[in-house]
Structure formats: C-alpha cells, structure tokens
Amino acid sequence: LPSDIRYEDLVITRSKHLQVKPKLDATTLKFGAVYSDHMLQASWKDGLGWTAPSIDPLGPISLHPCAQVLHYAVECFEGMKCYKGKDGRLRLFRPDMNMDRLARSAARLTLPHFDKVELLECIKELLRVERDWVPDKEGFSVYIRPTMIGTHPFLGVGPTREALLFVVLSPVGPYFPSGLKPIKLYVETQNVRAFPGGVGDKKIGGNYAPTILPQLNGSHLGCSQVLFVLQDGNSTGGLVGESGSMNMFFLIRQEGKDGDLELVTPPLDGLILPGVTRDTVLTLARGFGGMKVSERPLRFDELERAAETGRLLEVFGTGTACMIQPVMGLVKKDHTEIAIPFNEEAAKYWLAKPPGIAALPDLSGGEPFSLCGR
Ligand code: COI
C-alpha cells in the first residue's frame, strides 16, 4: 500500500544560522514578507505515496521547468494562525477546518489525499521548533501557509503523478498596511472572481492571480481591495460575492419602522470560499441573539437602497489573514462612493455583547483552540 504522512516518521534537521526576529510593529512588519527559520515538507509519488515528512532549514525548492504547477496552476494552499497566549502556550485556531478545506481543494486538482490528523501533528511540531517566532503581542500571530503543488514534469494536461507539500511560517500583524483602520473597497462588476460551476469555493492559487489586476485598478481610487459583484443577467445590480482575500458581512436594518437587524453574508453556493473566520462570526452572531443572521444571496441594489436610506449600518470582511476588517466605503465604477459612516447603533450592539471566552459556543464540536505547545 502507498504510505501516508505519519508524524512518527518526522525527521527534524535544525538550521545552524538562525535569523534575527523582526520587531512587532504594524507599520514595519509587512504581512507575509518575513519567514521563520524552518519549513515542513513531504513529497508524494503516484503508487508510492508520501515520503517521511521532514522539518528542514527554510530554503529554495527545486522544480523541473515542466512541473505541472508552473504551467497549469496545479496548486492549493491554506491560511491558518498560531497565537501565543498570555500563559505562553501556543494555540492554533480551528485547524481541523483548514485541514478539511486543504483536502477538498487538493481533491479538486487531483492532488493527493493525505492524513489530516497526521499532517496537523507535523505542523504542531514545526510550531514547537519555531516557538520563538510566534509573537506574544495582541493582534500579532504566526501565519501558517500549508501548500501543495503538482511537481510532475509533464506538459500534457492530466492527473497529478507527483506532488510536494510544504508548510512555511510567517510572523504577522494586520494584513493591510493601514492596520485595522477601516478600508474602502472597489465594486468590481467587470472582472469575475468565481462563477457557477467553477472553483470559487476552493482555496487554489488560480483563484487569486486574476484578482491582482482588479485590485491594482481599485487602488488608484484609494481602495485596498475589491468587492466582486457578479453580473448574472438579472437587472438588480448583480450578486454580491466576496473580496479577493475576505468573506463579506453586511449589517442591515430591514425596511419599516423598527425594522429588524439582519447580518447578511452570501451563502456557500460554490462561489464563496468557506472561510473559517466566516463560520466563526456566523456562529458567534447566532449565539448573541437580537439580530437575524442570514446566509443568503444579496443583490447590489438592495445594498444601495439600504445605504441610501441609512439602513446599511456596518460592512466588514473576514479572513484568517485579514481577521475582521472594517469597511468604510464602497467605490463604484463611476467613482461615486457609498459611504458607510461609523455607526453608533452597530457599535453599541457589538460592545453590549462581549462574547468572552466562556461564552464562546461550541466551535467545530470541541475546543476552538488546539494547543500545540508549552
Ligand atoms: C487567508 O486569509 O488566509 C488568505 O489566504 C488570504 C490571502 C489573500 C492572504
């Protein structure tokens, strides 16, 4: 039988040249630009299975120029975070969800199956080796990037025969250079991120590269990201999707006197990435009570009408990298802006319901935080 990834086979080779750790400052620690000293890796071959996983000094990987990943984007990845608590212990947030999603993305690209529990144990060991890289400052963490690529040198388009799985770590603070200050989003109606029957719900590199140009275009209008709105032939302004790096939430007061508060996010209909932070916000918001929490299609017209009548109370994005990112404006193609003013009603709502760790509902059927170190 081909072998699977096994924690007990893990081989560790420590680097002799450890780097100086960066200063934890949101203005200097650029997201995803600093990496720790070691990486985890394992390779796979059809019929043979996985090699023993290893933790090695971080360094370049060697690829044949015809490796599938370089030609047909046979690549998927995850974004997870590890925090150092006040007690000095390392904790991963809901890592089982990332392992599940990685397995689903890999399967869609014919990348190999792996044992999710064993891989997670290997990642925990990498974090123990790199524990000094895990920031202990609030708002900072180590961002974990598990990645799987098709390495088979083959220019025909066909199933993966060879693959490499690697995991790198990057100490991070806020994703956007502005820190956690509210940002503006460009309403992107021409370029499409995901379409029905496509792969918008998979975390694959091919979903991200095409979002860079729209993002660059939006940046000329002062926007940090875009909000993809799919034109689906319906005349109601298009279907609100997600942003390139975040799921989106909208707090809307329904029409009429004393209309209900509704927190809306687009549903998991194949166009939306099933975000771990998205799921967490939904679970917490449902636990808070006092507002309707909906995963439902949202048309851009409804959003505009709510904004015009002062009922669009709050907009925020969620993502592992972005955490919870407030949005203060949606800039449209004609350069007009839907402003989302700081809303006291919304602020009061959230502040009156501090979740507190004890009040956290059961996430993923157990501890939301998985301990991985002293
Ligand atoms: C994440 O939030 O983990 C992501 O992968 C988004 C990426 C654009 C940084």
Q: At residue 368, does pLDDT exceed 80?
A: no
Residue nearest to atom 7 of ligand 1 (CA): 245
For residues 122-151, average pLDDT: 95
Ligand 1 atom closest to 32 (CA): 9
Q: At residue 354, does pLDDT exceed 80?
A: no
243: Cβ below 6 Å to ligand 1?
no
Residue 205 pLDDT: 98
| For the chain, the helix, strand and coil percentages under 3-state DSSP, each to the nearest 5 | 25, 30, 45
Distance CA 316, CA 239 (A): 17
Residue 328 pLDDT: 94
Q: At residue 355, does pLDDT exceed 70?
A: no
Tokens of 196: 């029905």
106: Cβ below 6 Å to ligand 1?
no
pLDDT by residue (tens digit) across 189-203?
A: 999 999 999 999 999
Highest mean pLDDT among 25-34, 175-184, 205-214, 350-359: 205-214
DSSP-assigned states of every residue in 280-348: HHHHHHHHH-SSEEEE---BHHHHHHHHHTT-EEEEEEEETTTEEEEEEEEE-TTS-EEE----HHHHH
pTM for this prediction: 0.93
Residue 229 pLDDT: 97
Predicted ipTM of the assembly: 0.97
Measured in angstroms, how far is the CA atom of residue 243 from the centroid of ligand 1? 11
Greater pLDDT, 84 or 163: 163
Q: Which of 168, 175, 322, 324 to mutate to test the pocket of ligand 1 (most atoms within 8 A of CB)?
A: 322
317: Cβ below 6 Å to ligand 1?
no
Q: At residue 152, does pLDDT exceed 50?
A: yes
320: Cβ below 6 Å to ligand 1?
yes
Residue 349 pLDDT: 67
Measured in angstroms, how far is the CA atom of residue 14 from the centroid of ligand 1? 28
Q: Which residue shows structure tokens 């932070």?
A: 277
pLDDT by residue (tens digit) across 75-93?
A: 999 999 999 988 889 999 9
Ligand 1 atom closest to 319 (CA): 2
